Amino acid sequence: MISVALTFLGLLFVTFIIARVIPVDPVLAAVGERASADVYAAVRAELGLDLPLYEQFARYLANVFQGDLGQSVLTAKPVLADIARVFPATLELATTATLLGVGLGIPLGVIAAVNRDRWADHVIRVFGLMGYSVPVFWLGLVGLLVFYAELGWVGGPGRLDVFYEGVIESRTGLILVDSLIAGDLEIFSNALRHIVLPAAVLGYFSLAYISRMTRSLMLDQLTQEYITTARIKGLSERRVIWVHALGNVRVPLITVIALSYASLLEGSVLTETVFAWPGLGLYITNSLFAADMNAVLGGTIVVGALFIGINLFSDLLYRLFDPRVR
């Protein structure tokens, strides 16, 4: 826990330094270019920017630990309230993409390892390599052109069609969940059509990483003596591979999946921009263009805290699945 606390303090220190060295004047962004010198000085003093750096950092720490990330210039609302509003969209998208990546990536990685250096292995490796190589914004634009504009198989940008917005009560912020709670299958179907394509684009990159790591871990396990022993005992090949070998790689796979999930939560900026997905990534991007540094740094802190939290959670799962770690 000490290392987690130190990591979070390091994150706060880095964001504080970035806020002070970036060539954007937060006072000017708040008051506008036509404000008088007296107004400028008053706002600067109100923000505490006239204090020594160590006092500014102490005030910054106190505010963050009280849940105060400042006020957004763009929306004129507390940054934490803005993030609470937009984060469920990112959570829904990243979770769906991770489920696709795990559901397809692990089986493909196992199949590639079992068929090492055969055609199935080569096809899966090339497919995964394309996931690393193709720019996400290009893949998203092509997907919109083909599957939305030409074929009409999926919904367009956004989370819902315009005439469905605000129809159901937002309880969790997750439209798929809220529509099921409300029993509105029409809105659920519409939300599903909208999330399929961006989740598939993000899930493709998650699939590429997970399948590659699964293949590497499985190749190591398939050379172990216990695998040979299991085969000599007459166990079926399916049981040897999918129960014994895969069972022994589940612990390192936890870290692989956790890192993939965390990267989707923090790295979906381009995908959200292409698909006009109103999540945290799009919020940070719009705030950056508007020189709204409170929102940018608040979003950065939340993303960093999520990354730390997910890693901590994966460590706890380590202890659950592998008694030797305890």
Give the model confidence (pLDDT) of 12-26 as tens digits: 888 778 777 776 666
pLDDT of residue 294 exceeding 60 = yes
CATH number of the domain within which 304 lies:
1.10.3720.10
Task: Out of 20, 36, 65, pick the residue that ends a domain.
Answer: 65
User: Is 166 among the domain residues?
Assistant: no
- Structural domains of the chain, count: 2
- pLDDT for the residue 308: 83
> For 71, phi and psi rounded to 5 degrees?
-110, 140
Note whether 19 and 143 are same-domain residues: no
| Stretch 26-55: mean pLDDT | 73
- pLDDT for the residue 271: 85
User: Is 164 among the domain residues?
Assistant: no
Note whether 119 and 242 are same-domain residues: yes
Note whether 21 and 118 are same-domain residues: no
Note whether 106 and 148 are same-domain residues: yes
**What percent of the chain has a predicted confidence (pLDDT) above 90?**
16
User: Is 131 among the domain residues?
Assistant: yes
User: What's the helix, strand, coil split of the chain in %, to 5?
Assistant: 75, 0, 25
The structure's pTM equals 0.84
pLDDT-based confidence at 96, cuts 50/70/90?
A: very high
- pLDDT for the residue 171: 83
Task: Out of 36, 65, 94, pick the residue that ends a domain.
Answer: 65
CB 311 within 8 A of CB 1: no
> Structural domain of residue 211, as residue ranges?
80-153+196-325
CA distance 306 to 4: 12
User: Is 217 among the domain residues?
Assistant: yes
User: Is 136 among the domain residues?
Assistant: yes
